[in-house]
Amino acid sequence: MRALTPAEVLFEGDVPPAVMPPCDHYAGSEKLIRKSLALQAQLGPVFDITLDCEDGAQVGQEASHAELVASFLGGEDDRFGRVGVRIHDFANRAWRDDVRIILRAAKKAPAYITLPKIRSVFDAAEMIAFIEASRCEFGIEHAIPCHLLIETHGALAEVFDLAALPGVDALSFGLMDFVSAHNGAIPDTAMRSPGQFDHPLVRRAKLEIAAACHAHGKVASHNVCTEVRDMSVVANDARRARNEFGYTRMWSIHPDQIKPIVDAFLPRGDEIVTATEILLAAQNAQWGPTRYRDTLHDRASYRYYWSVLRRAKASAQALPESAETLFSEDE
């Protein structure tokens, strides 16, 4: 009898939750894009690169910037297929041109498309439908996942409905715009640590986004840290985002931020070993209850340890050779 994999057993027909590399690094200019791609080639697919059309394009140069972005997708420097794009927001008429230019001109479709300043489910659904229609028109075989930026009052009010939308893989928190949207009612200290974790309205927003993501199997992506000199601040922000707020991914706006973010979010080597041993024992027991080092385990804890291995594999971390039997060919 063939050994059943965790994906076949632990989710009872449901689609397993989305996983992706733990760092989302933004680059807008040609110089920074090239540097980011070179760093990704060096470090491997432990972080994604988001090519930024929203903040990267000069006013009046939106179309030429979209052409530039498209030129990097599927190029020789796009080695791992983990390069996405952020387009203009729904209220900006350039967003449709961004989509059509990029999907028409790129050698390969982006790994994802980030939709900023979402204000309602209606906004997001219309943008997702346009992206889907465009990719069909241009003969792109696979659907392109969308990531939604939650940075407005409207998006936060509908965050569970947004997380439930088909075609959405991740929700990201846009801290700066969210604080600014309160017109001075939240002090600027909430745009950085420790205020961003302590102010009640900001805490509420972070928790609502994370809860919505986990309720619908989507990735919760934490906001940027504006500190670009002291990497211990970045590392501490990443640890708090993961351990206290349930985020599994975080933005980066400076190359030096990537490593501390990755280190904070990736499973440790001992976690990977423990997860592998528990799941192999479970597989041998046909996914019934097992005992590991005087602790009892069943399918509830198996799902936890399976998430550890899936996150490790998504970022090309080294897995024990025996762990490969836990994955099917298409995972």
pLDDT score for 1:
60
Mean pLDDT across the stretch 9-14?
A: 80
CB proximity list for 112: less than 8 A, separation 6 or greater: 48, 84, 85, 144, 145, 146, 147, 169, 170
Q: Are strands 295-297 and 290-292 parallel, antiparallel or unpaired?
A: antiparallel
Give CA–CA dist 265/147, Å, rounded. Answer: 19
Encoded tokens for 325: 């039997």
> Looking at the predicted structure, is the pLDDT value of residue 38 above 70?
yes
pLDDT reported for residue 27: 96
The per-residue pLDDT for 66 is 97
pLDDT at 13: 67
Task: Pick out the residues of the known binding site for substrate.
Answer: 86, 151
Q: How far is CA 34 from the centre of its chain?
A: 21
**Would the pLDDT of 138 be above 80?**
yes
> What integer best gives the mean pLDDT of the chain?
94
What are the tens digits of pLDDT across the range 59-87?
Answer: 889 999 999 999 999 999 999 999 999 99
When pLDDT is cut at 50, 70 and 90, the band that residue 171 belongs to is very high
Q: So what's the pLDDT on residue 84?
A: 98
Percent of the chain's residues with pLDDT above 70: 98
What pLDDT sits at residue 42?
94
Confidence at 299, pLDDT banded by 50, 70, 90? very high
Binding site per annotation, positions = 86, 151, 177
Element (DSSP H or E) covering residue 146: strand 146-150
Q: 98 or 315, which is more confident? A: 98
Query: For residue 59, what are the contacts with CB-CB under 8 A and spacing of at least 6?
Result: none
Annotated binding residues for Mg(2+), as ranges? Answer: 151, 177
pLDDT on residue 210: 98
pLDDT at 15 over 80: no
DSSP calls for 157-203? HTHHHHHTSTTEEEEEE-HHHHHHTTTTSS-GGGGSTTHHHHSHHHH
What's the pLDDT at 14? 75
- Average pLDDT of span 161-187: 97
Say if residue 35's pLDDT is above 90.
yes
User: Considering just the CA atoms, what is the radius of gyration of the chain in Å?
Assistant: 20
Question: What is the band of 58 on the pLDDT scale with cuts at 50, 70, 90?
Answer: confident
Q: Is pLDDT at 8 greater than 90 in this prediction?
A: no
10-19, 95-104, 187-196, range with the lowest pLDDT: 10-19
Report the helix count and the strand count for the chain, using DSSP H and E.
14, 10
CA distance 190 to 199: 6
| Residue 330 pLDDT level (bands cut at 50, 70, 90) | low
pLDDT in tens, 100-135: 999 999 999 999 999 999 999 999 999 999 999 999
Alpha helices in 168-298 (DSSP H): 175-180, 195-198, 200-215, 231-245, 255-265, 269-284
- pLDDT digit string, tens, across residues 264-289: 999 999 999 999 999 999 999 999 99
Residue 317: per-residue pLDDT: 86
For residue 278, the model assigns a pLDDT of 96
Q: pLDDT band at 16, cuts 50/70/90?
A: confident
| Mean pLDDT, residues 193-200 | 97
Question: Distance between CA atoms of 237 and 250, rounded to whole angstroms?
Answer: 9
Q: Is the pLDDT of residue 331 over 70?
A: no
